[in-house]
Amino acid sequence: MTRLVFLVASLALLGLANTQYQPTWESLDTRPLPTWYDGAKIGIFIHWGVFSVPSFGSAWFWEDWQGSQSQSYVEFMQKNYRPNFTYPDFAPMFTAEFYNPEEWASIFEASGARYVVLTSKHHEGFTNWPSRYSWNWNSMDVGPKRDLLGELTL
């Protein structure tokens, strides 16, 4: 199942690689919906990373806490973490100890899902694969010490 998902996603991307779009909603909205996607009906999207550690809010935890300094996020951090705790301090706590990609793939297949999308890089730059461009801020260098994306696509 995982090889099929990876192959389908790769082929879909290759088919659009030569198409030029402008950075506008009007241009992007002209992209055709892939036939396989429309026919699949059920898919699974996984958004998982360092922001999962505090289990509070959303994937935009860092922005809500440090950027906009949302009062509920600031209070959450004051109540649950030591003074001067930083967002990167969460990374070693992102251990993925229950991550079993073979089991996940079996569950996905049994669910009837026709595709799976794992968000592999997040807006704060953390990648769920070993990346030389995201040195010391990826799942191989810190936290799980594993290639989370690679294990799911094998």
Give the model confidence (pLDDT) of 64-76 as tens digits: 999 999 999 999 9
Query: 3-state class of 5 per DSSP?
Result: helix
CA atoms of 5 and 91, how far apart (whole Å): 28
- For Cα atoms 109, 59, 97, give the angle at the middle one, nearest 5 degrees: 55
When divided into structural domains, the chain yields a total of 1
Give CA separation, 59 vs 15, 115, 121, 147, in Å.
30, 22, 11, 20
pLDDT tens string 117-149 = 999 998 899 999 999 898 899 999 999 999 999
CA atoms of 140 and 75, how far apart (whole Å): 31
* Domain carrying residue 129: 2-153
> For the domain that residue 104 is a member of, what is the CATH number?
3.20.20.80
